[in-house]
Amino acid sequence: MSKLVRKARGFSRNQRGFTLVELLVVVAIIAILSAVLLPRLLGYTNQARVSRAMSDLASMRSVVEAYAADEGQGYYPTADNSSDGGIAKVLQARGIVWAAQANPVKDPWGSPYYYYVAPDAAGTSEQHYMIQSIGPDRKQNTADDIYCTDTASPAQGQPPAQSEDGTPWSLMVSSAQ
């Protein structure tokens, strides 16, 4: 038995661990793998943010369409954050905090959403709308914006300058106001 104990003690004294060269090789391999994989993972992160913005816009679009059908007598909410028929109150009534709250809804890049309307020919009622996220570059009306309109599902690209019938967007309000 004493021979076995002596061998075990001798073995533990001779084992010193990893050399500096071995550790440097492992660190170099990890650095190379990180450099190769990190750009790919960042692309997935941005795509996830775009998907979340599209999902947010689809939810808001559903609320706005339901309001027009049920309570708005065929017209969409107004572009203000204070009146009963305004976008803020309409969304708030259905659980989406638009503005004038402690934590209003923002897009995945931390910017507010924007709500645009185009009035009817008389200029009295909202006939068309667009909800927009300004996207990763945080600049309005660029190719990376995400938007939806009364006639189009959420999409990424340059938002239209006017409604489908040619009426220009006349009023705008953001979720940060």
Backbone φ and ψ for 156, nearest 5 degrees, come out as: -110, 135
Q: What share of the chain is helix, strand, coil (3-state, %, to 5)?
A: 40, 20, 40
Do residues 77 and 84 touch, judged by C-beta distance below 8 A?
no
List, in sequence order, every beta strand (DSSP E) within 31-119: 113-119
Q: Can you give the pTM of this predicted structure?
A: 0.75
Question: Domain extents for the chain?
Answer: 21-174
Q: What is the pLDDT of residues 136-170, one digit of tens each?
A: 998 988 999 999 999 999 999 999 988 888 888 87
How far, in Å, CA of 129 to CA of 115, rounded? 7
Average pLDDT for the chain: 85
